Amino acid sequence: MIHEAPASTPRTRPATQRKRKEILDAAIDIFGNKGYANGTLADIADQVDITHAGVLHHFGSKQNLLLETLAYRDESDVADLDDQHIPDGPELFLHLVRTAVVNSRRAGIVQVYTVLSAESVTDDHPARPFFESRYSTLRGEVADAFRVLCHQEGITEPATINAASASILAVMDGLQLQWLLHPQDIDLAEASEFAIRAIVNAVLRPGPELSAYSRG
């Protein structure tokens, strides 16, 4: 077995890397605004003043471009983070609220995820594995945060942790969709904070069942 030469391939031409990023940014824009199925390589190519064949030269296929686009977005998100990893414990919940605040200033990014994650459930969609693993990972991280929090508050871990973890990601996604449809009516940051707080508190102190409100 041979060591893979790490920097051997002179693919690292500075202008090339720059162009690739340009294309990836354009892809985020187009896939966000038109979807993967409906956005075209020519749309993307136009934005960076090359032809669609030029895009294919860099990324090989449309499908591969999509995958690299998703990976690219993720790594720039991580890069934004101070210390390379998402906070754990109760800090995570505050981090999620901050994320919502940040997101309300970048509709483009929000739209790619909203459109592509939903599109990914369609037949044989190339982005499906990406979103499957993304949600699995995120749910795991949120669940861990809940466990830490319960321990900290001296509460035995309730059975609701899994439902709550999924629910937190769910509200965030669902609010984003409504916000994209009605930017005026929905305050993404405020609503996200309210909902996350509601769910976190419900894990720690369940409160009455819904049926309690229906009979006097």
Q: Which of residues 2-21 bind DNA (CB under 7 A)?
A: 9-11, 13-16, 19
> With contact defined as beta carbons under 8 Å apart, do 193 and 117 qualify?
no
Stretch that binds its own copies, among 9-17, 61-69, 74-82, 146-154 (CB under 8 A): 146-154
1 contact partners, CB below 8 Å, separation of at least 6: none
Q: Is residue 175 part of the contact set for its own copies (CB under 8 A)? A: yes
Partner from DNA, its own copies, none contacting 150, C-beta within 5 to 8 A by type: none
Q: Residue 144 in contact with residue 161, Cβ under 8 Å?
A: no
In whole angstroms, what is the distance from residue 70 CA to residue 112 CA?
Answer: 9
Is residue 186 close enough to count as binding its own copies by CB under 8 A?
A: yes
| 34 belongs to the binding site for its own copies (CB under 8 A) | yes
> Does the footprint of DNA cover residue 57 (CB under 7 A)?
yes
Q: Which of 33, 35, 40, 170 binds DNA (CB under 7 A)?
A: 40
167 binds its own copies per the rule CB under 8 A: yes
Asked whether position 196 contacts its own copies by CB under 8 A, the answer is yes
Q: Please give the structure tokens belonging to residue 37.
A: 């199925």
Residue 209 touches which of its own copies, DNA, none (CB < 5 to 8 A by kind)?
A: its own copies
Which of DNA, its own copies, none interacts with 147 (beta carbon under 5 to 8 A by kind)? none
Region of 34-42, 77-85, 115-123, 134-142 interacting with DNA (CB under 7 A): 34-42
Options 24, 28, 41, 175; binder of DNA; rule CB under 7 A: 41
For the chain, the distance separating the N- and C-terminal CA atoms, rounded to the nearest angstrom, is 74
Rounded to whole angstroms, the Cα distance separating 95 from 93 reads 5
Q: How far apart are CA 127 and CA 70, in angstroms?
A: 8
- Residue 166 touching its own copies (CB under 8 A): yes
CA distance 162 to 153: 18
- Taking residues 112 to 141 in sequence order and writing x for each that binds its own copies by CB under 8 A, - otherwise, the string is --xx-xxxxxxx----x--xx--xx--x--
Q: CA 70, CA 27: separation in Å to the nearest integer? A: 10
* Run of H or E residues at 27: helix 14-34
Q: Apex CA 86: angle with CA 80 and CA 89, to 5°? A: 145
The residues binding DNA (CB under 7 A) are: 9-11, 13-16, 19, 39-42, 45, 49-54, 56-58, 61-63
